[in-house]
Amino acid sequence: MLSKTMLPLSIHPVRPTQGEDTSALICLLQLDITVVESDDPQIIITPTDLNSDISTVSTGRFVTSDDRTQIFAEARGDRDKPAVVFIHGFGFGGMAFNGIFDDLHWVSELYMVWPNGLFAWTSERLAQDFDAVIESYNLTRPFVLAWSTHIADIFSFHPANYLSGIIYTAAIPDTTDLLTIVSPRLLPLVLGLTNNFDVTNFQKLWISFINLCHPALEWSHYLACLGDIVVLPPLTVLRIITRTQSKTGLISAGKSGSLPVLAIFGEDDKAIQRNRMLDVLDGWKNLTVVDIPKAEHIGWVSQPVKVRMTVLRWISENSKRAI
């Protein structure tokens, strides 16, 4: 049955602890969409800002994880091309990658899937969330482009050959090393976000955070990212940063030689320390490091062509060895 509807989107699912009243934040968006009513509804969204001669239909759906948490995910691109799952960074949502998803050069070369709201308190739950997304889209050994710590969760429960490769874009591999990898300028903001429950100060900290990540975002993109960030409850932020995580499985996968990694850094990144991040990956047998001149922490925005060419070339090379 087809219908047009006012659709509730749970952008950041909240997993309450027992006896705790933390309601999920629900955003009602008036979308002109077609909903296919099923157990896992698929939402057909037709972008208006892309070349109509190329198929750029983005399919969105609610994916249900093992603990019944619903995750909104979308996909775009050519299913016959290498699959890449995008995992957004701390505080941000999938909107941070809009410049990639709306770029026909990316769309024509990859099948891109991006979930919104992989925010759990344990590695097992986060791994289950990821599993639910790739199972829903029938992906086998996808690549993962991560601007986050979540790949460590995946390899706490899966072998090295579960993925075809990892693309780290100015990422922090795991939460245990977070405070040593973030820059001296970012560190007080991160610490402030974990212990400040005053709404006004919380919002000011986030504004400073996004400006440090990229001080010259296009205005509409800036507002979209900021809007995604400020709806995060302070308690959620605290749990994301302070949760227990192990990097043992991740490092073991890297030392096996069977899991290639591309680590991209922006030379103008003010958020993380490049060498500290590479220290965590010490001993990784198949590691490619690329430094992008004049790139900020959101490198695909400040240097979109260089980042795109670097990623697509590396995926092409490693897709051949993964077959």
For 204-250, the pLDDT digits (tens) are 888 888 888 888 778 887 887 787 777 777 777 777 778 888 899 99
Instruction: Check pLDDT > 60 for residue 102.
Output: yes
Among residues 114, 29, 116, 31, the alpha carbon closest in space to that of 77 is found at 114
Count of CB atoms situated within 10 Å of the CB of 3: 9
User: Nearest 5°: phi and psi at 265?
Assistant: -130, 145
Residue 196's pLDDT is 65
More confident residue, 59 or 152: 152
199-213 and 219-230 helices cross at what angle (nearest 10)? Answer: 140
For residue 233, CA distances in Å to 22, 186, 194, 281 come to 9, 20, 11, 32
Token duo for residue 3: 């219908």
Q: What span, in angstroms and rounded, lies between the C-alpha atoms of 59 and 61?
A: 7
For residue 245, CA distances in Å to 74, 165, 254, 280 come to 27, 21, 17, 14
Instruction: Check pLDDT > 50 for residue 194.
Output: yes
Can you give the pTM of this predicted structure?
0.78
Secondary structure of residue 56 in the 3-state scheme: coil
Domain 73-322: which topology?
Answer: Rossmann fold (3.40.50)
Residue 99's pLDDT is 83
Mean pLDDT within 70-87: 90
Beta strands in the chain (DSSP E): 2-3, 7-9, 27-29, 34-36, 42-45, 58-64, 70-77, 83-87, 111-116, 143-146, 165-169, 261-266, 287-292
User: Among 10-19, 129-138, 233-242, 304-313, where is mean pLDDT lowest?
Assistant: 10-19
**H or E element that contains 151:** helix 151-154
Per-residue pLDDT tens digits for 107-124: 999 999 988 755 556 888
Phi-psi region of 170 (alpha: psi -120 to 50; beta: other; left: phi over 0): left
Mean pLDDT within 44-63: 52
**H or E element that contains 250:** helix 248-255
Residue 143's pLDDT is 97
